[in-house]
Structure 1
Amino acid sequence: MDFISSDLIFTIALFLLVVFAVLGIAWGLFYPKLSKNYSRDQRMQAVALSRVQISDKRMRAASADRRKDIEANLKQMENQQKKGKNKKQSLSSRLDQAGLTITTRQFWIYSMISGAVCFLGALLGGLNTIVALGVGIVGLVGLPHFWVARKRKKRLQRFIAEFPNAVDVIVRGIKTGLPLGDCLVIAASETSEPVRSEFRRLVDEQAMGLPLAKVVPRLHQRIPLPETNFFAIVIIIQTQAGGSLSEALGNLSRVLRARAQMKEKVSAMSMEAKASAAIIGAMPFVIAFLIYLTNSSFIMIMFEETMGLMMLGAALAWMLIGVLVMKTMISFDI
């Protein structure tokens, strides 16, 4: 009995040993992917994947923070521009934008001289005292401000025409490895007026210790154009959020040139309408002057009688309304 039980136990043990040996050999032959080497590779891939996921998560977080900073900066600049638009420009700022070096006191002195000359000229021309007084008021208020507005418009047009060249100079300097401050110095020396003087102001203000993010918005305050606003936005975003400044300014230069071409195209297409409006607006004055040359007594009664003065005032008011309507119809903002 003892002999049978010991043989049985030995047989079972041997059978189990053979079964485990066969299973081990089969495991190693038919399931190599679950071997030690594969487990190591799998663990390495899992670690690498986790690193990529962590890096991707950090990049997404940094991108979100950068986007928030850019949106906050743009919103702040937009609020400042809205305040600047609502605030009426002073006479000194308009004189500065026109490129004039006179002060406001000198401007009003010249305005009074202009008003006095117009008043005396109207009196010497034989006009009524009331009409001469109106001509003097026009010479005091209208003509000087019209002259300043004309000078300002021409200077801004010259700035728009030269500003893309200055941006191209800055882009070429940045691509060669120069810092932005040196590129501004080159632009201040290589470009023509009025861009040269405005960039010299930027360089001087930066040399006084002001940061570039504070200096560039002043260019838009002195030259209130969309082009300078775009330039200020690009510089501020690059200094605070980083990025390729040469690529951004290159895109800005292409946009500025495209805007200039579009303005010239619109101006050429609307030239006929502007010429027609100018002829219609000038025709009553030309006819009145010709009548005065041929038969002065026929037209002077309008200036001597009260009813004639009232009719002239009403006619001038209606003409002013018509001129404003035509100006609105032929003006295109880009």
Structure 2
Amino acid sequence: MTVETWFLILLFLTVVVITFAVLELSAVRRKSKLLNKRLAELHTEEVKSRKNMYLRWAGRFNRSDYGKDWEQKLAGADLSITGFNYVLMQCVLLFVITYLLNALLGMRFPMDMIVAYFVVTIGSSQWLKSRRRKFAAQIDRQLPEVCRMLGSSIRAGMSIQQAIGMVAEELKAPAGPLFQSMARELKLGNTIDTVLSDMTDTFSSRDIRLLTQTITIQRQAGGNLAKAMDQLARTLEERERMNKELNNQTAESRYIALTLALMPVFLVVAFNIVFKGFITPLFTVPGFILLVVVVILMLIGFMAIRKVTNIKA
């Protein structure tokens, strides 16, 4: 081969290497720009969170044990807000009700704030419990299907962890996202007992507790978990049918109890709007004692009626 031939070969190889180097450099620069952009966004959010007092306080509150307790309660009530925001809403509602009591009923400080505090605290607690019961009831209606899917998956040779993952993929909301969260916890390395215990603590439902206890006992005793799931599915369906019949039979009594409890409140507000100063005697010492006695008797009557009509299978 002549010198000219070797020169052309070297020139060709040089051009190829330079071309690949340029392409690789371009790809690296694109990846570097994308990475810097993401890092800038994260850095910006970090700086904002440090400078923003609201985000700083919210972060500290949500990371505390008290905030985590609120997070668990709100998750059980199917509320997507943080514990800090919920407590902040309670504070705003406290001042609003204090103003309304002062403007409509003529209450003075600190009586108006004390009454508003009890109204917000008790009302918020009862509303949150009602939300938790309703959300748990929605999940309870899907539990027979959950039990059958778990039983079928285990009968097919899957482990309980794999069966939970199958339920998470196939089931619709609201139980679907719950089992998706359980599947993620299992993938992160948590034990099945810990995941089941967390689910029991989050939801105030006897059916969910029965499901978790059945799985735990059958795993520890080495029993036939698939057969137990099928039997539990039939039991839950029968209980759901009986509870619907009982609710239909006691619906009238529950509405009467609620009406009797709210009627005096509306009457007092209406009379005070028409006749200014109608409830002023209640703010004296004898009036306050009488008011406390009346409220206690009304609560006892309301709770007694609810206790009699709240029949569950």
TM-score range, shorter chain: 0.5 to 0.7
2:265: which partner in 1? 285
- Equivalences, count: 245
Q: Is the 8 A contact 2:106 2:277 kept in 1?
A: no
For residues 55-91 of structure 1, give each alpha carbon's deviation from its aligned partner in whole angstroms, at most 9, with x where no partner exists.
xxxxxxxxxxxxxxxxxxxxxxxxxxxxxxxxxx954
- 2-structure distance, mates of 1:116, 1:224: 31
TM-superposed CA distance for 1:119, in Å, is: 0.7
Q: Is the 8 A contact 1:96 1:222 kept in 2?
A: yes
Find the partner of 1:197 among 170, 177, 182: 177
After superposing the two structures, state which structure 1 stretch, 123-132 or 112-121, moved more.
Answer: 123-132
Q: Is the 8 A contact 1:190 1:196 kept in 2?
A: yes
2:197: which partner in 1? 217
- Corresponding letter in the other structure for 1:113: V
Q: Does 1:236 align with 2:199?
A: no
After superposing the two structures, state which structure 1 stretch, 304-313 or 94-103, moved more.
Answer: 304-313
Q: Is the 8 A contact 1:302 1:308 kept in 2?
A: yes
- 2-structure distance, mates of 1:148, 1:314: 27
Q: Structure 1 residues 181, 101: CA separation in 2 closer, same or farther (over 3 Å shift)?
A: same
1:61-76, aligned counterparts within 5 Å? Answer: none
Larger Rg: 1
Find the partner of 1:206 among 168, 180, 186: 186
Q: Does 1:99 align with 2:69?
A: no
- 2-structure distance, mates of 1:210, 1:160: 24
- 2-structure distance, mates of 1:284, 1:140: 19
Find the partner of 2:118 among 125, 130, 138: 138
2:99: which partner in 1? 120
Unmatched runs of 5 consecutive residues or more in structure 1: 1-88
- 2-structure distance, mates of 1:303, 1:213: 55
2:10: which partner in 1? none
Q: Secondary structure at the match of 2:278?
A: helix
Q: Structure 1 residues 241, 141: CA separation in 2 closer, same or farther (over 3 Å shift)?
A: closer
**TM-score, reference length from structure 1:** 0.64
For residues 113-143 of structure 1, give each alpha carbon's deviation from its aligned partner in whole angstroms, at most 9, with x where no partner exists.
1101111122232512155224421354233
1:10-25, aligned counterparts within 5 Å? Answer: none
For residues 270-310 of structure 1, give each alpha carbon's deviation from its aligned partner in whole angstroms, at most 9, with x where no partner exists.
112212222222232233344345x4147344456554444
Q: Does 1:331 align with 2:310?
A: yes
1:176-187, aligned counterparts within 5 Å? Answer: 176-187=156-167
- 2-structure distance, mates of 1:158, 1:101: 17
Q: Structure 1 residues 109, 188: CA separation in 2 closer, same or farther (over 3 Å shift)?
A: same
- 2-structure distance, mates of 1:207, 1:243: 25
Q: Structure 1 residues 237, 324: CA separation in 2 closer, same or farther (over 3 Å shift)?
A: closer
1:76-91, aligned counterparts within 5 Å? Answer: 90-91=69-70
TM-superposed CA distance for 1:254, in Å, is: 0.6
Q: Does 1:109 align with 2:88?
A: yes
**TM-score, reference length from structure 2:** 0.68
- 2-structure distance, mates of 1:198, 1:316: 40
**Structure 1 runs of 4+ with >6 Å offset:** none
TM-superposed CA distance for 1:209, in Å, is: 2.7
For residues 12-57 of structure 1, give each alpha carbon's deviation from its aligned partner in whole angstroms, at most 9, with x where no partner exists.
xxxxxxxxxxxxxxxxxxxxxxxxxxxxxxxxxxxxxxxxxxxxxx
- 1-structure distance, mates of 2:120, 2:264: 24
1:154: which partner in 2? 134
Percent identity over paired residues: 18
Q: Is the 8 A contact 1:175 1:246 kept in 2?
A: yes
Q: Secondary structure at the match of 1:100?
A: coil
Alignment root-mean-square deviation, CA: 2.7
- 1-structure distance, mates of 2:94, 2:261: 24
